[in-house]
Structure 1
């Protein structure tokens, strides 16, 4: 079986590359994870993106229930590894009735290489059946965030670091960098920082319909973002957001 992981950007069909469109058209089956009624929009977006690519015979859209992490497992990495095992088995179970399928594709938000575990899950599949794994790169949310705010990702001749909300909460601001991109943060971890001298550029649903942006000194924008984020999640039932923090920069203009 050939399994292609297709980076699709942040849910906007305009983000698809020609390579991504060709991979979707070539697939016999597109796997569509279902994450419950409150996140039905995510599955529907995948279907719309697939439909926008189709010319002639469409690939089979094969839905499967997405397993959830077990909150009873205390260790974070153990909990995630067990979750990935369950997802891999869900893929296998969904594909079992279609042994004739030779080309399977799965649409991945952003790019499969950055803070996404689809590649690790696919590795589990490769241990139980022959697998030709291919990856089509996609536009990353951090690129869409900086484009939406019209700012560069890094300061002149300076590095930046991509991290998670959990790391920011547990370890604070990393040494040696003045620019952080924070992903996978469901708890507004920027509120744990001393806001003095820090600016934030935040975005939710970046590049998608209903995109929300805010920026400013962390002391001013932080509380506003917390409120906006909570309201947006309650209204839409789910949220995907990302933000950039920079020390010593003016939020009114690109550094």
Structure 2
């Protein structure tokens, strides 16, 4: 059996590592680190640093692999994602077979938390179809929690719900029905531009929790151009950006 552990490592700050996460790393026979191209080499570098900081004296092997690239031009978005996940599962299995064979403890270090807008659990299910696999999850600090902490704001208003969605959904369907507070993830195109900004406050963060952290907060009508500019400048400087934002509608 393969004992697969998905370890939440927070949003890029080494201090986000929990004692449970460190223990899981040290008990693994193999940790897989995906490589996402030169423009995102910092992501692999942060994982390497976490391993170097916490694996001293452990027998854990660390192996890097090239992460398959999603076909962004696939005519069917969901099918394109499914094909991509199949390719990632195959890459995991190839390296697991090469290092630990049929039996062993394998771990992956997941940004934020493996349960929230991350596909690792779905990919792990694919692995279980071809190899007897036990899947364990170590929770991590989410980008949502880190964003609210950075701005020192509560996630919700009193007794009110919160909607967590994606930039694609905001772009295609607008403000979610029945929501006063909306958290938007995976938005590479600043979908807030498609909304009527009147009465909306926004709390935005890029590289939240990391030393490169950028924060903006205020009325969406005033801040939208500033956020777009700051995001573009940060992406040009680093080659990549992770960002997230919370919007609240005043009623």
Measured against the shorter chain, the TM-score band is: over 0.9
Map 1:91-106 to 2 at 5 A. Answer: 91-100=92-101, 102-106=104-108
8 A contact 1:199–1:245 mirrored in 2: yes
Rounded Cα–Cα distance in structure 1 between residues aligned with 2:100 and 2:107 = 15
Q: Does the 8 Å CA contact 1:5/1:134 hold for their aligned counterparts?
A: yes
Q: CA deviation at 1:73?
A: 1.6
TM value normalised by structure 2: 0.97
Q: How is 1:181-196 mapped onto 2 (pairs within 5 angstroms)? A: 181-196=183-198
2:66 paired with 1:65: yes
Stretches (4+) displaced over 6 A? none
> How far has the Cα of 1:191 moved from its partner?
0.5
Does residue 80 (structure 1) correspond to residue 81 (structure 2)? The answer is: yes
Q: Is the 8 A contact 1:13 1:52 kept in 2?
A: no
| Kept after mapping to 2: 8 A contact 1:29/1:61 | yes
Match of 2:176 among 174, 177, 182: 174
Q: CA deviation at 1:97?
A: 1.5
Deviation, structure 1 residue 58: 4.6
Aligned Cα root-mean-square deviation (Å): 1.1
Q: 2:29–2:100: 8 Å Cα contact kept in structure 1?
A: no
> Which residue in the other structure is 1:110 paired with?
112
How far apart in 1 are the matches of 2:73 and 2:250?
A: 42
- Counterparts of 2:215 and 2:73, CA distance in 1: 35
Cα shift at 1:8: 0.5
Cα distance in 2 for partners of 1:70, 1:219 equals 35
Matched, 1:2 2:3: yes
Q: In 2, are the aligned partners of 1:69 and 1:79 still within 8 Å (CA)? A: yes
Deviations 1:22-78 (A, max 9, x none): 001111110000001111100010111122212413521111100111134211111
In the alignment of these two chains, the number of paired residues is 249
* 1:95-244 equivalent positions in 2, closer than 5 A: 95-100=96-101, 102-244=104-246
1:99 and 1:178 mapped to 2: Cα distance? 49
For 1:57 and 1:149, the matched residues in 2 are separated by 38
- Following TM superposition, by how much is the alpha carbon of 1:149 offset from its aligned partner in structure 2, in angstroms? 0.2
Distance between the aligned counterparts of 1:189 and 1:237, measured in 2? 20
Look up the match of 2:41.
40
Q: Is the 8 A contact 1:201 1:245 kept in 2?
A: yes
